[in-house]
Amino acid sequence: MKSNTHYFDEFIRVLEAKDVAVLETAGLPPYKEPVTSPYVIIFLNHSGWIRCEFDFEEKIMGAHDFFLMSPGHALHILETSEDHRATLMFITRRFYSLLAEMFPNSYKYVHYYQTVFQLTDKQYEGIKSCMHQIKILSEIDHPYRNQLLASQMDIMAHLTEVYCTENGFAPDEKGGVEQLMLQFNNLIAENYTKHREVKFYAEKLCLSPKYFGTVVNQTLGYSAGELISRYVMVQARHLLHQHRKFSIQQISDKLGFPDQTAFARYFKKHAGVTPLEYREGKM
């Protein structure tokens, strides 16, 4: 496990330096807790299956499934089959912003985030070929590397649009409630350190808090406030467990709490233990 962790740390270092990186996986290890990623992640499953949660909603991806995950959303890998093989492409926010500037008409991916697509064999080969080319381009040292990468990604964006249409899915057909929940999750990812009250998000979405709360409860089976707190706790647990160089006070500051006492009170309410007890494994 230490070697796997070291490998992934090195992969992230390369990604941060180059903005785009492609990872070939032979089974992803289950995580004890959900995590959030600051990157755009594109999954292409080759074989086997993976059971996971995206924003606390369980999904199962099988062979030839294609999935896009936007930055800041919660991912929890629960289980994978022994024959699971996949390609994961990671894109930093910096590079994604560059793509949006270069090809403003192509990057409508917000419509596709958090949706698992089953590709036909022909479609699968098309996306697989694009990702293979992107992997090659991401690893070269060339003065026009970014432009070449962007052009290849634009090709994949157009293929994605064509395949979704062929399979009967169009962005405009995505349900209103589904769009609302995606917008809500995006707003939480952007604002959770400053706003943890349902009223703020309801107003951002131009809805009354009562109506908004009812829609979320009927859709998720739990309240809007609980979704917000789940997201905050994902961030808190990650910082406490993975960033031991940070003190409890520093983590409290990063999460936007007024002081360490307020953070400890919030954490214990939702986890049943204090941040220090969690860090020390006293669960």
| Model pLDDT, residue 194 | 94
Bridge partners of 54? 57, 75
| Model pLDDT, residue 2 | 42
Give the separation between CA 252 and CA 217, rounded to whole angstroms.
Answer: 29
Question: What number is the average pLDDT over the span 125-132?
Answer: 95
| Model pLDDT, residue 49 | 94
Mean pLDDT of the chain: 85
Number of neighbouring beta carbons within 10 Å of residue 134: 23
Burial, 44: exposed, middle or buried (Cβ in 10 Å; 0-12, 13-18, 19+)? buried
Question: What number is the average pLDDT over the span 110-118?
Answer: 67
Checking if the pLDDT of 30 tops 70, the result is: no
Give the separation between CA 34 and CA 1, rounded to whole angstroms.
Answer: 18
Using pLDDT thresholds of 50, 70 and 90, give the confidence band for residue 165: confident
CA-nearest of 120, 171, 126 to 152 is: 126
Q: Are 265 and 252 in contact (CB under 8 A)?
A: no
Give residue limits of the domains in the chain: 2-172, 176-279
Using pLDDT thresholds of 50, 70 and 90, give the confidence band for residue 183: confident
Q: What is the pTM of this model?
A: 0.71
Q: Are 72 and 96 in contact (CB under 8 A)?
A: no
What is the Cα 200 distance to its own chain's centre? 23
The answer to whether domain 2-172 has CATH 2.60.40.180 is no
Helix, strand, coil percentages, rounded to 5, for the chain: 55, 15, 30
Give the separation between CA 222 and CA 242, rounded to whole angstroms.
Answer: 28
Angle between helices 176-191 and 209-220 (to 10 degrees): 110
CATH fold label, 176-279: Arc Repressor Mutant, subunit A (1.10.10)
Tens-place pLDDT, residues 31-47: 677 778 888 889 999 99
Q: Where are the beta strands (DSSP E) in 3-107?
A: 20-25, 35-36, 40-47, 50-54, 57-61, 65-69, 74-80, 85-91
